[in-house]
Chain A
Amino acid sequence: MAADKARTQTIGAVRRTFAPWNDPTATPLIRFENVAKRFGEFVAVDGVSLDIYEREFFALLGPSGCGKTTLMRMLAGFEEPSAGRITLGGQDLAGVPPYRRPVNMMFQSYALFPHMNVWDNIAFGLRQDGMPKAAIKARVEEVLALVKLEPFARRKPHHLSGGQRQRVALARSVAKQPKVLLLDEPLTALDKKLREDTQFELMDLQMSLGMTFLIVTHDQEEAMTVADRIGVMNLGELVQVAPPAVIYEQPATRYIADFIGDVNVLETKVVTAGAEGVELASEKTAYPLHIAQPLDAAVGDTAWLAIRPEKMRIALVPPAHLADNCFEGVIWDIGYLGDLSIYHVELACGTRIKVSQPNVSRLVERPITWEDKVWVTFSPDGGVVLTR
């Protein structure tokens, strides 16, 4: 227990201070410089520039078909960029074949060798390096233990379950301890418990081995949990790169706000804008909306207020000193999730907004119920104003 605590403390210390992307003197390990990839007429990746630093855990998020796998395949060496340049540790990777790149990839389809058992699959990469037999044995046993597959070492891949295969693929790609590990949706086939365990295992692994991880995932929670920074892609472009909290709290565009987590987006007009904050007006509410956020916009411009369900408070009576930041409506529907409840509030104009509240009491009878008239309020730093 004590050792566990010490370890988490170290992780915390490292993670808290780890922010090389803010350090202008730090040199990135991997650089994508204006990288594009076209398949015939189709543009799969479009002008991506991205720096990834040594020991970073970087997650790529984006809808299906937005080019995440293609970006990874270019780094692994299976596709040549149509334009731009990729460097690793200062070396231009153009023309370097996959088998000479210090990068290993875990494939989305696992790509386990069907004619080899689990053990040989994992040992395959080590054998290519001409590692001595004893060292291979030790290493394979180590990673087998890591993914908890020791009893299955002699099985062929087709005798394993989907989750077990995924773990073999993971083990095979980490076995060589590459400088950079590319994980293409590594945990999708695992159940929730094993997935969470493996996430922390991955973070641990990355910490202890000092590897750089690039992970593709559809699971935002997973990306938030494991990653130092997240890159959100859409239609082949990288739309925002930032640490998880920034992506969530200060999304750059409506698209990102909507893509990550739940959000209410309301169209508004700018009333005043300045360095201290903005005042917005909306047809959805009679109250003025004040947001503590510097904004460079002209009066009368259209702006969008993005506000997350958990950032709002809901009340059956109008709060005292009510002057701004309020929506009035009636409860249209309630979703009870156990730890919190989601209230769908219908405003006078017919728009519905989502508000979530933690369930702090054990009472089964909730004070707020269907058809109740409610006041929904939020503080000036609860919302974010977006111009795109």
Chain B
Amino acid sequence: MNRSLSWFNVTSLVLGFAFLYIPILLLVLYSFNASRLVTVWAGFSTQWYAALLENDQLLDALWVTLRVAFLSSLAATVLGTLAAIALTRYGRFFGRTMFSGMTYAPLVMPEVITGLSLLLLFVAVGMERGFWTITLAHITFTMCFVAVVVQSRLITFDRTLEEAALDLGCTPLKTFFVITLPLILPAVLSGFMLAFTLSMDDLVIASFTTGPGATTLPMRIYSQVRLGVTPEINAICTILIGIVAVVVLLASVLAKRQEKMRRRAEQIAARG
């Protein structure tokens, strides 16, 4: 087979990437535009980044977003990992199929429905809406992503490793922390990062569950854009893209490492 790229492959690759990234590139480019008018290029400048530092509204929103993302993804990672363990380990408990189906459901649930139902819940229990309700909502919807990622790792986990640890006098709890967790850590971390990015760019669920005083960055941007796109928005979006890119990159590096470890483990099992 001819393994070099044919002109057809090259064009489709270029077109595909162009389709994906030209809008983003434009946004990044215009964040360095000296002109106030978004559509006119007037030379390179970083003035909008400086102006951003003065814009308390946007900075506040960024701060809220980062805090929500961090707290919610942390909690979602713990809960999601526990759920994954329960679902893969405790084989045939009553209603197992239903539960595992239920962890997948939120992945395909329209966000509007998730948001609305959470809002109803918060209203029903009389919880004051704001920072904490957004955080709780984000925990709920990102947790299942973590569970799915960790579960796929646990399925291939060699349980005799845990048995060996128990056999050598290690208690089950300690075994989890010194054997199981280190080995599934790449999956847990990529679950964390997935939850983090999901939480960071969520607009719909946050809009439903927020209250006065807690505006996330996507919400702020959305409301400002309706009054017209300013270069400041471009600047903050560029920063946001930067953060997401770093996280995604880290996640893919981790995934690669995990794949390598899994291959090695399989190799050991096969040769052994």
Contacts and interface: CB of A to CB of B under 8 A. Distances in A.
Contacts of B9: none
A134 B163 CA distance: 27
Which residue of B165, B169, B264, B267 has the most chain A CB atoms within 10 A of its CB atom? B169
A84 B243 CA distance: 61
Given A78-B166, A99-B170, A162-B272, 13 more contacts: A76-B163, A98-B167, A99-B166, A99-B167, A107-B160, A109-B272, A113-B179, A124-B165, A124-B170, A158-B264, A165-B271, A172-B168, A189-B272
Interface in B156-188: 158, 160-161, 163-172, 174, 179, 182-183
Given A98-B163, A115-B182, A158-B264, A110 B272 contact: yes
A93 interface: no
A115 B163 contact: no
Contacts of B170: 99, 124, 128
Contact of B167 (A105, A113, A115): A105
Contacts of A76: 163, 167
A368 interface: no
Given A158-B264, A158-B267, A158-B268, A111 B164 contact: yes
Interface string A107-146: 1011111110000000011001100000000000000000
22 contacts: A97-B172, A98-B166, A99-B166, A103-B167, A104-B168, A111-B158, A111-B160, A113-B161, A113-B165, A115-B182, A124-B165, A124-B168, A124-B170, A125-B168, A128-B169, A128-B174, A158-B267, A158-B268, A165-B271, A165-B272, A166-B272, A172-B164
What is the interface residue range for chain A against chain B? Answer: 20 to 34
B225 interface: no
A244 interface: no
A155 to B, nearest CB: 13
B163 A114 contact: no
B168 A165 contact: no
B182 A99 contact: no
Interface of B: 158, 160-161, 163-172, 174, 179, 182-183, 261, 264-265, 267-269, 271-272
A112 B179 CA distance: 11
A162 B271 contact: yes
A222 B164 CA distance: 25
A179 B261 CA distance: 35
Contact of B268 (A104, A165, A172): A165
Contacts of B271: 162, 165
A260 B262 CA distance: 40
A157 interface: yes
A114 B165 contact: no
A103 B179 CA distance: 20
A99 B264 CA distance: 28
A129 B169 contact: yes
Nearest to A115: B182
A176 interface: yes
A97 B166 contact: yes
A38 to B, nearest CB: 15
Contacts of B163: 76, 78, 98, 107, 111
B104 to A, nearest CB: 28
B161 A111 contact: yes
- A-B pairs with lowest CB-CB distance, top 8: A125-B168, A128-B169, A111-B164, A111-B160, A158-B264, A98-B166, A99-B166, A162-B271
A105 B160 CA distance: 11
A99 B160 contact: no
B95 to A, nearest CB: 20
A166 B268 CA distance: 11
A114 B262 CA distance: 10
Given A107-B160, A109-B160, A114 B268 contact: yes
A163 B259 CA distance: 25
B261 A109 contact: no
Contacts of B167: 76-78, 98-99, 103-105
A166 B172 CA distance: 25
A178 to B, nearest CB: 9
B167 to A, nearest CB: 5
Contacts of A103: 167
A124 B179 CA distance: 11
Contacts of B264: 114, 158
Contacts of B169: 99, 125, 128-129, 176
B168 A176 contact: yes
Interface in A153-184: 157-158, 162, 165-166, 172, 176
Interface in A81-110: 97-99, 103-105, 107, 109-110
